[in-house]
Structure 1
Amino acid sequence: MTRPDSLPSSVPGPQLRRALGVGDAVVVGLGSMVGAGIFAALGPAARAAGPGLLLGLAVAAVVAYCNATSSARLAARYPASGGTYVYGRERLGEFWGYLAGWAFVVGKTASCAAMALTVGAYVWPGQAHAVAVAAVVALTAVNYGGIQKSAWLTRVIVAVVLAVLASVVVVCLGSGASAAGRLAVDGSAGAGGVLQAAGLLFFAFAGYARIATLGEEVRDPARTIPRAIPLALGIALVVYAGVAVAVLSVLGARGLGAAAAPLADAVRAAGVPALVPVVRAGAAVAALGSLLALILGVSRTTLAMARDRHLPGALAVVHPRFQVPHRAELAVGAVVAVLAATVDVRGAIGFSSFGVLAYYAVANASAWTLDPAPWRRAAPAVGLLGCVTLAFALPWVSVAVGTGVLAVGVGAYGVRRWAAAP
């Protein structure tokens, strides 16, 4: 059994610097969760669930809580870079760890490009691709300089975004356009609509995985990670619930579902159009925060997979001074920059939510094996069932593309094993 304060025995080579405390880890998680998703996810979720939006949010929160509990226990046991890639490999076998890592790296790389393009669309719509590339280069440079610099920048971003969201809540709830009757929950959209909304909203909660993915850079991981993950998730849930209630009270489920920019439309409907540019700026900053955390997470999972030769071994090198996986970071930054410069992937990443749910399904299955006590297995069981249910409740295009991406990964794994066979 692996000791809580050590890396799994299969992790070779230099280790990353343990520099993050509880506060830093919470900030990294919040930077991933309280990101651009809250500015965009409410509209599609409202279209799916109608007046059942808040119920969908509750379902997503329950599944996220179970996943967070499983991730926290696993990260304390296996405090190495890679998150569920490492947990699946150690608890279930090489294939399941690989599948989780593949789903994460491919899906989140596309998400990185989408977040970069979101920054460009808000900052300079006419030059969105150029701004996106500049954002990727700048944030890759920040990450290259060490995890503490990344945590410092994330702290600033989180403070700005929370201030903007607080302003939206105060303006909406304090306006004459707010009506409590618009918050009534009913099942007119059916269970399928509520579950689809939950699947879409879950994507916005998934950032707490970044804390686990950075497990090799957290001080006293057995204590820090189990505290940081539920704290970050709890704060994000309070923020999301407050924003959802405020926006719904002004726009109603139908208006929210039809809104292209829900938070900006809400403050305009609340009679404060002067706040619209502030909300747009907040969305751009939030997208930067999500992009920063995504690059961190993808590069660490790339490091873990490179250590096991599922990706080129050259990507497993750790910088001797900054103690970061600098080659993995540069490789991820280069791929994301190319995508952001050449392809508009914002409308083609539906499989990302599917991939995230597949990733957490492996995490819950891994946590199930930690302790045979029934009460300790309750959260992993609910989390696993929730992930599978929400994954297949997503729009059929997302399910089809996500399944295809996973199949490509399985095929690549099979070819690699066949080529390595004596």
Structure 2
Amino acid sequence: MLAADDDDNNTDRSSSGLKRTISLFQATVFGIGLILGAGIYSIIGEAAGIAGNTVWISFIIAGLLALVIGLSYAELSSLFSRSAAEYLFVRAAFENEFLSLTVGCIVIFVIVCSAASVAVGFSGYMSIFIPYIPEIIIAIILIILLSMINFYGISESINLNILFTFIELIGLLFIIIAAFVYGNVYNTNYFEVPIYSSSILHPNLIIGLIFSAVGLIFFAFFGFENIVNIADETKSPNKTIPKALMISIVVTSVIYILVAISAISLVGWHDLYLSKAPLAKAAEKASGTLGTLILSIIALFATSNTVLMMLISGSRLIYGISNDVKSTLPSILSKIHSKRRTPWLSILTVMFIAILIIVLFEGALPVIAGVTVFCVLIIYIIINLALIRLRYKKIKIDRQFSSPLSIRRFPLLPGIGIVLSVTILLQFEAQVMLDGVVCIIGIIIFVYLSGRIRQLVEVRRKDKKID
């Protein structure tokens, strides 16, 4: 199987039938866009309320954690350069179809719920400009329009992603530049923390506050793992995807750290924490209400860009799993449009599920968002375990990329990634953890029933042939 994954890496069309058009630059910008979502616009305020002016250190630690986990994805994607990456990683490592399909379905759940949640976030920003249209209608229209772009072609979708990502970058660069022009960059105390009861702070207390904010900030890095799901449409994916992963994580980490320092120097941690739109508050310090308006408009591009990329990733993941002969997902979902060369039934499936979630769970989307973060961390743990397992199982494979630092065959960084992921998981409220476990159990039941249904269908087909 591993050799087969490399057979068509350098051809214009993958063995699956999808067209390879995505370059390293496009894949990297896709990754940057996945990470630079709407999260940074709100999370920085909450994180500043925990870590104070030391929040920039929390961003450094969260970036290092993302890099550690990204290295695992990079090594695995160099071995299995196809869509439905997590599904393939787990199946190759543990040779358990039930486990791999469960992991794949959890990832689908996370992606589609994220698309629905961010679409509702988009509608909140858009309602400022068109208050007479219900927010739920705006969210549904956005899902439909972006699904149409997704169907039209991967090149067109990626090019739109590049445009939106650069608009997002302009907004964040505006904050950074404004800090040097209007802020107090050189005289700000970047180690001030929100403690008032004592004039002397113990170093362990400061460290505790910094790490407490890491769990929240790490949410702003989610999404980089979805780069692996465009492998079937990427040129030389076993080389391109690992590079795109690493570059996108490093670039966004640097941007996030600079934005954190800049926002603190402009308004301080206290005002960031009290503001519902913390970066807009920082922009207001630089250019008044015009800055707030500009950031609100850019937030529209940030949220719509995130939704677009989630729709792309989700449809390719469903396509990749259903295209596998061992999968219990209906193979019809892997159908490719003859003209557009896109997995149109998978695209429609993701669109309808996202709309259904918006309609049925609009009021509960914040809860669903917490559950998706819980599920993502579970996936990270399993993926790191898969890499450790493959280091012992597939010894003689020529890896295009390997996660560094090993003791003999044991890779240290995936082990560290597991420990850190578990540490962040333990910071969740009990209710969020319970909701997450319930969702995972529901997915396990779905996978089991789908497998049983497929077995019954196959038995009936065989009986008909005998008759």
TM-score by length of 2: 0.83
Q: 90-99 vs 56-65, which deviates more? A: 90-99
Structure 2 residue 187 is matched with structure 1 residue 167 = no
Structure 2 residue 345 is matched with structure 1 residue 338 = no
In 1, Cα distance between the equivalents of 2:432 and 2:35?
21
1:89 and 1:96 in contact (8 A); partners too: yes
Alignment of 1:222-237 (within 5 A): 222-237=238-253
- Amino acid across the alignment from 1:318: I
Q: 60-69 vs 395-404, which deviates more? A: 395-404
In 2, Cα distance between the equivalents of 1:180 and 1:97?
53
Alignment of 1:109-124 (within 5 A): 109-124=112-127
CA pair 196-106 structure 1, distance change in 2 beyond 3 A: farther
- Amino acid across the alignment from 2:2: T
CA pair 77-176 structure 1, distance change in 2 beyond 3 A: closer
1:102 and 1:406 in contact (8 A); partners too: no
Report the Cα offset of residue 314 of structure 1.
2.3
CA pair 29-176 structure 1, distance change in 2 beyond 3 A: closer
In 2, Cα distance between the equivalents of 1:418 and 1:410?
12
Give the secondary-structure state (helix, strand or coil) at the position aligned to 1:174: helix
In 1, Cα distance between the equivalents of 2:42 and 2:446?
34
In 1, Cα distance between the equivalents of 2:44 and 2:430?
19
1:7 and 1:80 in contact (8 A); partners too: no
CA pair 124-79 structure 1, distance change in 2 beyond 3 A: same
Report the Cα offset of residue 273 of structure 1.
2.9
Structure 2 residue 315 is matched with structure 1 residue 313 = no
Give the secondary-structure state (helix, strand or coil) at the position aligned to 2:83: coil
CA pair 20-188 structure 1, distance change in 2 beyond 3 A: same
Aligned position for 2:397: none
In 1, Cα distance between the equivalents of 2:333 and 2:216?
32
Aligned position for 1:151: 158
In 2, Cα distance between the equivalents of 1:31 and 1:271?
26
Give the secondary-structure state (helix, strand or coil) at the position aligned to 2:366: coil
CA pair 13-330 structure 1, distance change in 2 beyond 3 A: farther
For residue 35 of structure 1, the aligned residue among 28, 34, 37 is: 37
In 2, Cα distance between the equivalents of 1:68 and 1:392?
21
Give the secondary-structure state (helix, strand or coil) at the position aligned to 1:323: coil
Structure 2 residue 430 is matched with structure 1 residue 396 = yes
Output one character per residue of 1:190-225: Cα deviation in whole Å (capped at 9) or x when no partner.
Answer: 766544422222222122222111111111112111
RMSD: 2.6
CA pair 411-194 structure 1, distance change in 2 beyond 3 A: farther
Aligned position for 2:463: none
For residue 188 of structure 2, the aligned residue among 178, 181, 185 is: 181
Aligned position for 1:241: 257
In 1, Cα distance between the equivalents of 2:430 and 2:210?
15
Give the secondary-structure state (helix, strand or coil) at the position aligned to 2:223: helix
1:120 and 1:129 in contact (8 A); partners too: yes
1:361 and 1:384 in contact (8 A); partners too: yes
Give the secondary-structure state (helix, strand or coil) at the position aligned to 1:32: helix
Report the Cα offset of residue 251 of structure 1.
2.9
- Amino acid across the alignment from 1:215: A
Report the Cα offset of residue 279 of structure 1.
0.4
Q: 116-125 vs 273-282, which deviates more? A: 116-125
Alignment of 1:272-283 (within 5 A): 272-283=288-299
Report the Cα offset of residue 248 of structure 1.
1.8
Aligned position for 2:375: 355
CA pair 415-246 structure 1, distance change in 2 beyond 3 A: same
Q: 251-260 vs 45-54, which deviates more? A: 45-54
Q: 190-199 vs 330-339, which deviates more? A: 190-199
Give the secondary-structure state (helix, strand or coil) at the position aligned to 2:188: helix
CA pair 118-350 structure 1, distance change in 2 beyond 3 A: same
CA pair 346-172 structure 1, distance change in 2 beyond 3 A: farther
2:6 and 2:81 in contact (8 A); partners too: yes
CA pair 324-345 structure 1, distance change in 2 beyond 3 A: farther
- Amino acid across the alignment from 2:433: V
Aligned position for 2:395: none
Structure 2 residue 102 is matched with structure 1 residue 102 = no
Give the secondary-structure state (helix, strand or coil) at the position aligned to 1:303: helix
Aligned position for 2:342: 324
- Gaps of at least 5 residues in structure 1 are none
Alignment of 1:168-317 (within 5 A): 168-176=175-183, 180-184=187-191, 193-270=209-286, 272-307=288-323, 308-317=326-335
Structure with higher Rg: it is 2
1:26 and 1:231 in contact (8 A); partners too: yes
In 1, Cα distance between the equivalents of 2:450 and 2:258?
48
- Amino acid across the alignment from 2:407: P
Structure 2 residue 376 is matched with structure 1 residue 374 = no
In 2, Cα distance between the equivalents of 1:5 and 1:290?
30
In 1, Cα distance between the equivalents of 2:357 and 2:331?
23
In 1, Cα distance between the equivalents of 2:257 and 2:117?
25
Give the secondary-structure state (helix, strand or coil) at the position aligned to 2:20: coil
- Amino acid across the alignment from 2:6: D
2:164 and 2:301 in contact (8 A); partners too: yes
2:46 and 2:273 in contact (8 A); partners too: yes
Alignment of 1:49-68 (within 5 A): 49-68=51-70
Give the secondary-structure state (helix, strand or coil) at the position aligned to 1:352: helix
Report the Cα offset of residue 182 of structure 1.
4.0
Alignment of 1:69-148 (within 5 A): 69-92=71-94, 93-125=96-128, 126=131, 127=133, 128-148=135-155
For residue 420 of structure 2, the aligned residue among 386, 393, 396 is: 386
Output one character per residue of 1:286-336: Cα deviation in whole Å (capped at 9) or x when no partner.
Answer: 001111111111111222333344433321212222222110111111221
Q: 381-390 vs 153-162, which deviates more? A: 381-390
1:50 and 1:189 in contact (8 A); partners too: no
Aligned position for 2:198: none
In 2, Cα distance between the equivalents of 1:350 and 1:233?
22
In 1, Cα distance between the equivalents of 2:105 and 2:221?
20
Q: 327-336 vs 398-407, which deviates more? A: 398-407
Report the Cα offset of residue 2 of structure 1.
0.7
